[in-house]
Structure 1
């Protein structure tokens, strides 16, 4: 970190550091008691935390062993301990929430439960599978992962099985199957654990809080031991973790929290920034310090980050941290539009190769994307130019279980097709040339039973499978474009070739990572790729302002990972030669300079740009495209028809045991009620209604439209 002009020596605390800016110094030297540090990206929060702890110890406010600092990763906890040792402050307990709870529970368990020790359940899928089988739920791997995630979210949110259906309805949570079925699996899972004497990781927190709440002598001993608490990444605390923290504190207030609400990207797992934002309400006497000076990134990168987050809707005061870049100036961020994803990946790989040739280490370069399925095309592009890489936070594309299963099925289908063609040739002569579109249709037909649908599946695991299968269809489109005669057998062989090429030895190289996996990391150069509506923001976020804003924060996290070089790009088509109808992410509007060639709305080169049917302005965003009007232009909606459609959707969703949005989203229903399509051709012209939904729901929807109000 660069030395800051006007820094102050902490001589009274033994000269802890001479490079603190005024705000950092205020946080470090704040009186013992409640302190809230709102720390923007790159503002030195870890530096501030460690020096605050050291300051409290050096000035005699607390002994090292009386400090408990909690973080969200073991890596962060280890870094905290290492930095404290540099200051000669050993003995501070720096742990994750779960590690701290496990240590405490093992100590107090004999006194609150008995001599029989518990065992920690390392992985819950087997137990969830048993509970799912008994409840009659699907037991495939993706379904079990989704059910396990729902159980984790419920426990993190302090929601019991009995309350689960009502709570998911109240918060409009996207769930993988019927709420009552999830609740039944949740109940069975808890029963299985209890019978076996097992605790999962969330139980560690629940039982720790319960022990301190119900046993005054246990609480007294704990609170005598630990008198000062520090919580990092406080914006990611769940209700369960906050309950544990409250139990640790009791009536005391010797607490320092550090966080950034602009980096809240885990609400799907139960995290909430409200504890950070409401800190001064809970502790009116709290010292609140805002760290705005960004020591990580150039002013150009910082300006881009500020632009991204300043457009957020419904910002509260605690999120208004406008960063101030402290590094020397650097290059402006670049914005590039490509015809298709392979072209985008090839260009990014070539640029990275040039960077490495210019002296930037491969380990200081990252390619970041929204979903893991996007990694495949970049794995291949980097392989082709000889640049080593590592995939962080996920498996390589061809190592994913759903991709391996699909390859096996495609190989078998290809062999069967070859045998059938050979038999046909023996009987009737050579077959006709293959239609270029036949390969894609054949691949889709093979993948549909494996989970490929017109729209994403519900649940994170199901959606990841869907994204991977959709990526395979994209590869089929790409092969069909360059080899019109390719068949299933040729495609299966192509996948094997690509898979073999994508398994280089594990080396330190360019990082490929999702935006979620990139949180907490930084690189000299960052390429943010695939920035199109439907991917960022993700398709299933449309129609929900809360989810859209979390998607915006994901882009903010991505931008703030870059120290010096930042490149943002998008492609108008998924496959080479495909229709260039995709639109760059709505989050880029206002970020791209007006003078830039791509500052115009892009809807495919040479294609007519979609315009609002009311005011004539270019349409921005998936919802606007569905409605064919700007979101703030007057609506000519048929309210009675919309009510009938919503009642029908609710009934249909209930019959199918799926969330209503799986049938049709609110935006699609609104578009139907505005356009009143009179036939199937007009109905399928509304974005969001594909062939499958037309076949499944078309007759009923058209009947509703034809019904007199």
Structure 2
């Protein structure tokens, strides 16, 4: 047994309390837990039966801590009283005294279980039409969000003691049809759970309180518990108060500890009113109010942090308690022998990034200069929104950090989320293995593919797909094996409007973007390989990758091993896990198979042992995996056999609070990163409270829910069951309490930070900063170098070239750099690789590839888009086409591709030229496009319909003969001694009465070239050049013969099919008796612009339709050198010389490579 500690007078008064109710006001660090433990221990030492002493608190962590403290205080072998959470104690009561106690008591539903049960019952209520839900809610009944709303209202009803009939009465009184429906549903819900022998979390306390209405139960409880101690009483709700009143009311021995200034859980139903009303609610046996005492000596905080916290506490409301008690409670004094005055700093920074970097530097300096352990420091934030960014910055700065337990549910940890995703895909690939998921798994540690390799694999799969699948829709999959890579994924006109030739972007897509994503495929559902798609459309690389993961043996038969290896590895892993499940393996067994067979674990362990930023990341991943296995195992134990993968994943992914789990043994100490709510009850030497911004802290927004659970109140409180909205002052008081809790976690040093933007509309610091009574330090620049090895290297490098430094200083800096570069660990790994000159950007030689962009003896593939791109900016063309660094396809590209595909169907006669027919086709494919929001999808859907209406107006007015649409062409021409393969797509080919060939290109962007630029429009010029060089002769011959059948495999150009591999046009060879083709001109038809040049949105209902804007390019001469010949020659010269230089101009405004472009200020070299 540990000897009793020395108590101050206030503590001794509590410990010596003779009996009856007592309210102890205990501020932060005043020894509340010590006093409670000592009071209980003294009673045990005086002969009280430990089982007769009930100790209650509000979290599992606090209950565990109390049990440990009591065990230490009473000594080894002593039987101490149990410390319970309210809900654990109530469950125990139901199992002992409840109606089904003989069978072990009710089964407690977890949150996800309750959610699933609620949704099932709601779906059933919709099917049977009872209760009568308001029409406005009928469509929401099957959603998870509505189930959560119903759950919150039922939980609120339990908290305030309102049963289903009472809720129905309140609903009728205040005219709430939604509450009346919930009341009826609530009764059915309780009946269903009762029949199953189950109970939910919210009903535990209410059901236990109902037991006390039974006189035998109440008598037994009062006889059993001679004294009750309650910690954190400010966090009680009305139902818990009712239970305590039954067990320990009437003057019973009830000692409660609380702090009204730390009442921060109102959002969970806690009401500080319970603490303020305690003296009247729990009178002594003689009827007088319960006595109140206060602990006044703060043993936690140094004088400076304590004084700052007192200034904030002084602004909190104090209504409900006599002034003398409030003054005694808030006028805390530091304990004798405080180790120094402590320190309080308030700092603002210009940006959130600067704030995070400064916090990292502060923590490192405390650790390295002042010897503060990592585990003795914490960073607190208002909400979880800022945790991810802070963790990344701190980790990158060399600060070992862990997100506080419970901040991130286990399924939201990246490592656990990855394993759950793979487990779900193995269990049911037809449902869960989507193209996006397949790509994510392939590039994850389970697949190990790199993005470049994945792009190369996608191109390979598209080429194979094109060679084996006949498709009448346009496609950019090259059919010729000898087509060079720079144009393999970009035939002209495929997406059409990525950027106008004048450099201005039309719709955010590239006009030579790959067309393999033309009309997106519908959700195939039952197609495990993911190959189902709308007839006439090619498969995208994402779809083909998905199919390869689902069936690698079939899909990768002809793919090189080096490209296929990650897919084989992932596919085999998923098949192994699937086999385990098919043999009847439990989810935890399948998860272990996934983890052990992946080889990821040993890699993480090696990274963890190596240390550094990668080691800390590996530690975090390993902890997440341990927590995941613990969670899955607990679920299996609770649910028993038959609990499948779908149920496990559903439970874990819908958890809002992480379970209590232990981290791996031997894990290094870390800085804690957590929310202010989670910090309650904890303390550290150094605490940083960051992100204290106006509008964030305090957050004074009213919290409204769909069903208004926050408005329900007990009928006896005077509002008829409805609580008025919370006032702004009440919300401000809540936020200030939370801020106060965060401040009072610091023992020695407290730092409060915020962002103070330079602009008037930038982020502004919170009013709370001024309440601390400390001068705000506005930090505008980094005053000292970062206290990291990288920062040291930078400072030494700077010194070696500093002209103001002496030669001796420069030489000493160089010597130290050399020593750092040579430092290594036992395994020969460099400890400071940044110190070695071969890692310095300014000394790295400019590299050049030994592989030419174009094979010297091969053809140079060019399209109209390439000609335009090379003329506009050679560097941009190289980055987009050679480096494959173009931005991914956007919804704007999808818009253009859908409109093009439907225009082709009308032009080719496959779909009638009627708006109703196009509407039906549009509806079929539109849902497959992805948009950021529903309103954006609807807006673009209306714009697509208008574009198609303009097309029909234009199509109906045409008088030329339509020869073909969506024509792929390829022809070889000789330019500057090299063979140029001119390739592309032509949207529509027409013949006029004179037999001249006209080409049409549809545009769906909002911009159009100027009249001057139109006459040298590269895309139209390349089409006319193709006509002049005979690339369309085969198509024209078929038209002359009256046939639109697909050409034989020797065809050079055809409508909707790729040329046969290796086939090249021999100009004029197919013309027969037809005279050579003569270009008649080319047109741009702007389907998103009305004639007159206006880019408009949807028309009003009574507005007359208008034709599209049409821009015509003059016909190319049939002989002599013209501008398009010069453009092609310039492109050939640029490619063969590999001189891809940046060209500043108007196109720079929409270029995605501006930040890295040497011709732009933001992309200039920092070292010459």
Partner Cα separation in structure 2 for residue 115 and residue 589 of structure 1: 60
Partner Cα separation in structure 2 for residue 115 and residue 376 of structure 1: 46
SS in 1 for 2:240: helix
* Cα contact 1:131–1:186 (8 A) shared by 2: no
- For residue 129 of structure 1, the aligned residue among 119, 128, 136 is 119
**Corresponding residue for 1:357?**
368
Q: CA deviation at 1:221?
A: 2.1
Q: CA deviation at 1:529?
A: 0.8
- Superimposed CA distance per residue, residues 142-173 of structure 1 (whole angstroms, 9 cap, x where no aligned partner): 554454344333322223345559979999xx
CA gap of 1:182–1:566, structure 2 versus 1, over 3 A, is farther
Does 2:314 align with 1:310?
yes
Partner Cα separation in structure 1 for residue 689 and residue 171 of structure 2: 33
More displaced stretch, 558-567 vs 130-139: 130-139
Alignment of 1:540-689 (within 5 A): 540-541=701-702, 544-573=728-757, 581-593=762-774, 595-597=775-777
SS in 2 for 1:201: coil
Does 2:408 align with 1:395?
yes
- Superimposed CA distance per residue, residues 213-259 of structure 1 (whole angstroms, 9 cap, x where no aligned partner): 12x22222222221111111111111111111122225451111111
CA gap of 1:63–1:357, structure 2 versus 1, over 3 A, is same
**Corresponding residue for 1:455?**
none
* Cα contact 1:67–1:229 (8 A) shared by 2: yes
- Superimposed CA distance per residue, residues 307-360 of structure 1 (whole angstroms, 9 cap, x where no aligned partner): 111112454435542222223333431111111211211111121122222321
Alignment of 1:46-445 (within 5 A): 46-60=33-47, 62-88=48-74, 90-110=79-99, 117-123=105-111, 124-133=114-123, 134=125, 136=138, 137=140, 139-161=142-164, 163=166, 183=183, 186-214=186-214, 216-249=215-248, 251-281=250-280, 282-283=282-283, 284=288, 286-313=290-317, 315-317=319-321, 319-320=326-327, 321-322=329-330, 323-326=332-335, 327-358=338-369, 359-392=371-404, 393-395=406-408, 399=414, 427=496
* Cα contact 2:346–2:751 (8 A) shared by 1: yes
Alignment of 1:461-610 (within 5 A): 504-505=620-621, 506=623, 507=667, 508-541=669-702, 544-573=728-757, 581-593=762-774, 595-597=775-777
**Gap runs ≥5 in structure 2:** 127-137, 422-431, 441-454, 456-475, 477-488, 510-612, 624-666, 703-725, 780-1168
Partner Cα separation in structure 1 for residue 97 and residue 673 of structure 2: 43
**Corresponding residue for 1:38?**
25
Q: CA deviation at 1:438?
A: 8.2
Q: CA deviation at 1:130?
A: 2.2
* Cα contact 1:16–1:55 (8 A) shared by 2: no
Partner Cα separation in structure 2 for residue 16 and residue 501 of structure 1: 41
SS in 1 for 2:190: helix
Q: Which has the larger radius of gyration?
A: 2
- Superimposed CA distance per residue, residues 532-561 of structure 1 (whole angstroms, 9 cap, x where no aligned partner): 121111141595221211110000000001
**TM-score, length of structure 1 as denominator length:** 0.64
- Give the number of equivalent residue pairs: 513
Partner Cα separation in structure 2 for residue 48 and residue 90 of structure 1: 19
More displaced stretch, 228-237 vs 16-25: 16-25
* Cα contact 2:298–2:334 (8 A) shared by 1: yes
**Corresponding residue for 1:690?**
none
CA gap of 1:139–1:338, structure 2 versus 1, over 3 A, is farther
Partner Cα separation in structure 1 for residue 171 and residue 340 of structure 2: 48
Q: CA deviation at 1:129?
A: 2.0
**Corresponding residue for 1:26?**
13
More displaced stretch, 534-543 vs 251-260: 534-543
CA RMSD of aligned residues (A): 4.2
Partner Cα separation in structure 1 for residue 26 and residue 172 of structure 2: 34
Q: CA deviation at 1:21?
A: 0.8
* Cα contact 2:26–2:294 (8 A) shared by 1: yes
* Cα contact 1:280–1:286 (8 A) shared by 2: yes
CA gap of 1:366–1:589, structure 2 versus 1, over 3 A, is same
* Cα contact 1:28–1:51 (8 A) shared by 2: yes
Q: CA deviation at 1:207?
A: 2.2
**Corresponding residue for 1:605?**
none
**Corresponding residue for 1:480?**
none
Which structure shows the bigger proportion of residues in helix conformation? Answer: 1
- Superimposed CA distance per residue, residues 60-112 of structure 1 (whole angstroms, 9 cap, x where no aligned partner): 4x3222111111122222222222233336241321111112222211225x8
* Cα contact 1:398–1:499 (8 A) shared by 2: no
Partner Cα separation in structure 2 for residue 238 and residue 181 of structure 1: 25
Partner Cα separation in structure 2 for residue 219 and residue 535 of structure 1: 47
CA gap of 1:365–1:64, structure 2 versus 1, over 3 A, is same
SS in 1 for 2:754: strand
